[in-house]
Structure 1
């Protein structure tokens, strides 16, 4: 266990009937020591891969009615915290205690009213190893309000956009995606498209509308993103993948890859996932296939894209974001 896991466990009852562990795979072993029943929810597939499959749950529902202790690694997003607190308040026993923690530098006072909206009693622990736990009890039996949806405009076309609290850019078109949308009509028509890091499904939906009859593969490590994309793209030929890779797709089988790659994992900056996406794109793209990428202009992606995918050109630069096009060039063996 890391310091965040330890302060979570240290501020919890010694025994419980049923522990629900959320986004904290490092606490699963300790949970099995303290409770007869353990359930685990991981939004990130990379966390889920660390947990025994039989412990993982796919939904928050009445199966959690006897959960009396919840351990949660505090998310960055207040929306994600609100959704988790809402679900716990709605489905778990009236005796449930929710203990959530993070390093002090990632805590903010806005988290307090979010928890207080769903629980009658709330307090913060003392600091420990530069971490702190927030403890809530007395669920208010919240009404379920997540996921949410609303109409956004992509080009001249309205889109019914769905999102969860943990979905990137929940409920809006982020600046990077908006810059890519402005040049989307420059992308050549395609029959097989991959949206890497699909978020709420904006690019997948636009690709499906732009190229009727094409197949769109939407990939994300976040379960919230995948469910959001499925809802946003209802009725469209979009196949979703809760996964870190598309290794099951054949090499050189894709015409176009679009991506707004992440450069964070949780609270930490991390370029590894983005570079991994570029490697996957290079494997999937056919000869002369194109990778369209939008990213913060200060990030050094162009060199990586040229090395991994092929010749890379800047298409536009606006509002601190740059769109590039990389053309896959395969060398004959």
Structure 2
């Protein structure tokens, strides 16, 4: 154990950092406190951490409870990179492995620490995987801030575990403890709902959307993306390559590839669930050969001045906080990657007023569409 370990040393980088954004919160501490006895009894490689925001659970379990061989899954690449940076900072870089959600992550796990995702679908996919692959005596300590928790989370866990209890509230946080995983026979009718990815056909658009639990909007097509789809034919003509930045389930990437048979599209997102969904969506729409899906922190893997066309429906939340920082980061990276004369097509909630930032960061920006909620702009790289 590392007695000198301090949560105060942890940072969010490469995610956006600001005075009102934190790398650790009370729910991290409460999860570790509720799991302390179980962590002390766990052997090497019996502890799994899921959806650790920036490393507090993983590094806390290693430093304060002596857990070794921790296996970790974080949907957000920014969280994975922050954990790596924080682990190096506190001298615990060799104490864990990052893995996809699945059998390798969970086999023989007896203690699972989980930051509850906001999405019930994400929780369902996680809980189903734990119940399927972890040890029969596994205990899940799933915590979060009370303002983000709902009774429906208990019900999702009860689909997959025979025993679910709730802790007392502490510092506006609470922990749900789940044990006695149900077998496939016991899950019964819930088994079909817990098979991922889900799939939906949108006949009006001629698109099939596939989605894993943590993918934004699931198998629906959010209204901002729907609006941007109306402008596909007007986007920079005769380009050979394009990027769907923050691709989510890959709707824009697959739609572009279907509309332009000569086009190759790179679909990029930091979410593991998003890239798995986007790959499945490309296959379902017959364009997998022309859509390359990559997990990336913004466009870090793309060379400068290499793209002719980028499409973007930027998020305006960082976790549970409304914050413009993530959109500005995406605009900056798009500017770096666009060739001179290349175009960035963006849809955004009109009240956010992104046009001055796009003018400043990318280049001359003009409005090409506006409805009651959204604005679509095209920015041309200087």
**SS of residue paired to 1:288:** strand
1:185 and 2:208 are equivalent in the alignment: no
Q: Aligned partners of 1:250 and 1:46: how far apart in 2?
A: 20
Q: Aligned partners of 1:297 and 1:29: how far apart in 2?
A: 41
Shift of 1:154: 6.1
Shift of 1:35: 3.2
**1:1-333, aligned counterparts within 5 Å?**
1=7, 2-12=25-35, 13=38, 14-17=40-43, 18-24=46-52, 25-32=55-62, 33-49=65-81, 50-51=83-84, 52=93, 55-61=97-103, 64-142=106-184, 143=191, 145-153=195-203, 155=205, 158-189=206-237, 190-234=239-283, 235-329=288-382
Which residues of structure 2 form unaligned runs of 5+?
1-6, 8-24, 85-92, 185-190
Determine if contact 2:370/2:376 at 8 Å carries over to the other structure.
Answer: yes
Q: Aligned partners of 1:137 and 1:218: how far apart in 2?
A: 38
Structure 2 length-normalised TM = 0.82
Residue-by-residue CA offset, 1:117-150 (whole Å, 9 max, x unaligned): 1111111101111111111111113445112112
Determine if contact 2:77/2:272 at 8 Å carries over to the other structure.
Answer: yes
Determine if contact 1:219/1:241 at 8 Å carries over to the other structure.
Answer: yes
More helix by percentage: 2
Shift of 1:221: 0.9
Determine if contact 1:15/1:35 at 8 Å carries over to the other structure.
Answer: no
Determine if contact 1:154/1:181 at 8 Å carries over to the other structure.
Answer: no
**SS of residue paired to 1:204:** helix
**SS of residue paired to 2:352:** coil
**SS of residue paired to 2:201:** strand
Which residues of structure 1 form unaligned runs of 5+?
none
Q: CA RMSD in A?
A: 1.7
Shift of 1:269: 1.7
Is the deviation greater in 179-188 or in 223-232? 179-188
Q: Aligned partners of 1:137 and 1:164: how far apart in 2?
A: 24
Instruction: Mark the CA change 1:273 to 1:154 in structure 2 (over 3 Å): closer, same or farther.
Output: farther
Where in structure 1 do 4 or more consecutive aligned residues deviate above 6 Å?
none
Residue-by-residue CA offset, 1:75-96 (whole Å, 9 max, x unaligned): 1111101111111111101111
Aligned length: 327
Q: Aligned partners of 2:31 and 2:66: how far apart in 1?
A: 13
Shift of 1:153: 3.6
**SS of residue paired to 2:170:** coil
Residue equivalent to 2:20: none
Shift of 1:63: 5.8
Instruction: Mark the CA change 1:191 to 1:125 in structure 2 (over 3 Å): closer, same or farther.
Output: same
Instruction: Mark the CA change 1:15 to 1:271 in structure 2 (over 3 Å): closer, same or farther.
Output: farther
